[in-house]
Amino acid sequence: MSIDKATVEHIAKLAKLEFDDQSKEEIMKDLDRMLEFVDKLNELDTDNIEPLTHMTEEHNVLRADEVKTEISQAEALKNAPQKDSDYFIVPKVLKREDAD
């Protein structure tokens, strides 16, 4: 399979991306190389290979949740640029549209 300009334009449209003509040419070459690499996999003999659901036999090893006090509130606030007695003070990032 070969990638043509129309395919690149279609993929770009689906991804809501815009490319100039030079970038489209580079993308065509990159996609062609990717497809050639995937086609190499077809050369492998996979007749006696079972499909994998996981790469290893290991399962997720999760640690137990433990409540720890790593840092006190005073230590956390010590280097804050702005603070009040108990909290960090940060710039307002949301504004109400209906408030004047």
Q: What is the DSSP string of 46-61?
A: -TT-PPPSSSSS----
Q: Flag whether 75 is in a domain.
A: no
Q: Using one digit for the tens of pLDDT, what is the confidence trace for 52-66?
A: 887 788 778 888 888
Nearest to 3 by CA among 41, 29, 39, 37: 29
Q: Flag whether 25 is in a domain.
A: yes
Nearest to 8 by CA among 21, 27, 35: 27
The pLDDT value given to residue 92:
84
Q: How many domains, in total, are found in the chain?
A: 1
Amino acid sitting at position 75: E
Q: Flag whether 78 is in a domain.
A: no
Check whether 90 has a pLDDT greater than 70.
Answer: yes
The pLDDT value given to residue 99:
58
Q: Flag whether 21 is in a domain.
A: yes
The pLDDT value given to residue 29:
94
Q: Flag whether 9 is in a domain.
A: yes
The answer to whether the predicted template modeling score (pTM) of the entire model surpasses 0.85 is no
Query: What is the CATH classification number for the domain harbouring 31?
Result: 1.10.20
Structural domain for 25, as ranges: 5-41
The pLDDT value given to residue 33:
93
Q: Flag whether 34 is in a domain.
A: yes
**CA atoms of 11 and 9, how far apart (whole Å):** 6
Q: Is the pLDDT higher at 97 or at 16?
A: 16
Q: Flag whether 33 is in a domain.
A: yes
For 7-32, what is the mean pLDDT?
94
